[in-house]
Structure 1
Amino acid sequence: MIDFDYARASDIPDAIRQIAADPNAKLIAGGTNLVDLMKYEVVNPTRLIDITHLPLNTIEETASGGLRIGALMPNSDLAYHPLIEKRYPLVSSAILAGASQQLRNMASTGGNLMQRTRCFYFYDIATPCNKRVPGSGCSAINGINRINAILGTSESCIATHPSDLCIALAALDATVHVAGPAGERVIAFTDFHRLPGDTPQIDTNLAPDEIIVAIELPPRGFPENYSYLKIRDRLSYAFALVSVAAAMEIERGRIRDVRIALGGVAHKPWRKVEAEAALRGEAPERKAFTRAAGILLQDAKGYTHNVFKIELARRAIERTLTQAANGTPQMQAIKKIR
């Protein structure tokens, strides 16, 4: 473990002042990802700024009928909150599909958004990695890339986004409220995370001197027809090879509205509004779901060991949309795919 200084933020302005004053500092709440990165010496912050005492751990109803979730709300508390379970069960299901109960107890909602992308070589400091050392190369492209991305990749990086919660938030059109020296601003969830391009070391559009204060869910939560399906190598405590968040509204036997987001396949939660547009007005049946899957995956590119993900993703999309349409969401307590 490296040497570092420790400080506690007294309030939100103090946290902003401290993070703005030290470009090598990191904010820490649950620390479920950051501490691992420090142990592997992937990141070496000079200072940790403890924000766990800030008043950001509540859920409030908004004037528009949505919910505002404090950035420090623990994942477990969020998953089992009555308003989330009733109005946004897709969020609850996605959280319960991820990590372990102990990690969910510690992990914060805001911290979940800031998880670093997933790749064996990113965590191995003995190998070249453009995310760790820009310009050093991507070892995964010609290496062991079974878990890596098939969408939105670049010559610089094929890492994947690790979060389950973020896939559901992307599907639901959530927004991220952030604060910095210039004040507060709101970022659409689909714009919060970045594709790698030629700057894979930058995972999000959060400025270095900003902090997440809340995530806002819109009024519509699709509580009747939804599902979150996660395909992984083992049934407990494993990252997704492919995951799908699907939510829809069915009226008179036709799809009135629909949302689809994919995890485990790109550097960020993957969503294409063209696929959703193709489903609106259609009968909720396999032929339409297959067409939507084709649109979502039309630019997919496999590498040596992960070509199988393309077909796996297609089948997962069709299955998840079927589950959502039938009102039979994937049960996270029972891992067997329905």
Structure 2
Amino acid sequence: MKPVHLRRGLLPMAAVFAMMILSSALAQEAPPTPPADIPDGAAAADPMPLAPILPQTLDPAALLKPAQPGEAAGRSAAPKEPPPNLTLAAKLTDKGEPLRAGITWRVFADKPGRDGKLPLVREAKGGTVHLALKPGTYIVHVAYGRAGISKQIRVDKSASSDTIVLNAGALKLTAEVGKDRKLNPNQVVFDIYRGTDGQDAETDPLVSDVAPEQTVRLAAGTYHVVSRYGDANASVRADIRVEAGKLTEATLFQKAAHITLKLVAESGGEALANTSWSVVTPGGDSVFDSVGAFPEVVLAIGDYTAVAKHDNKIYEKSFTVESGADRDVEVMAQ
């Protein structure tokens, strides 16, 4: 019987010894203590409880259950937009055909918002457009280049249409100098003002820096056009009438010339560098200033004086500009 008691006594001691070895091994594999800036709840030794995340009862078969037909499509499908109930078209004249392109449509609510402006409801580009709008009253603005018009419309549940007459045309400009010589497009631009010559003095241009051959869409009416050749004083003006439904083409004739200035020690000699230049009118008004050996300037026809300063010495020469007569003006350093 004693041997039996000895075996019973050794079993608990072996179990304790095994648990001590296991505890030591686990202690060696325990993760390091997290830095102090990581909250206790995020530490590896104190995991976040999963009860609030996982359902109380989880059916593994539910994870493999296929979706019912149309169930996924129903969750991702966007709500259907109502069919268009308003068709808008625009024409240049009452008897013209609807425009196919180049139109910008903007539909506004008829009541101002908190900022005092009419809220924009819809915007579309092209020719004839088809819009879906809730029944109510709206302000429709149609723009065709610089021509535009607004109209109040009423939309009902039933489909309706409206055609807006712009009463607009277009303008294309070119410039020539001398005997029908077309100017370099990089040297001439146009400014277009509303009204006539006597009405644009205190107004900003409707369109500025228009290039030659560029088509500008405008409402029918009279416009004052200024053609600027170069960066000095060469410009011409004209009042031009734009007719509805037509392309008006106009050519403005410049009375100016391209001048190159040179300071030379003798006629036909090498131009002197580091020269300061001024060109003044007979009345003493300066129309051009530059520094260099070969400054170039476009000047309107008339009489001028070129003033050159080199090595603290001043040299002058008077000259005349004739329309289209581009040339060099030599000032003698003597």
Asked if these proteins are the same fold (TM beyond 0.5), I'd say no
The structure with the greater share of residues assigned to strand is: 2
TM-score, with length taken from structure 2: 0.21
Higher normalized contact order (CA 8 Å, seq sep 6+, divided by chain length)? 1
TM-score, with length taken from structure 1: 0.21
Bigger radius of gyration among the two: 2
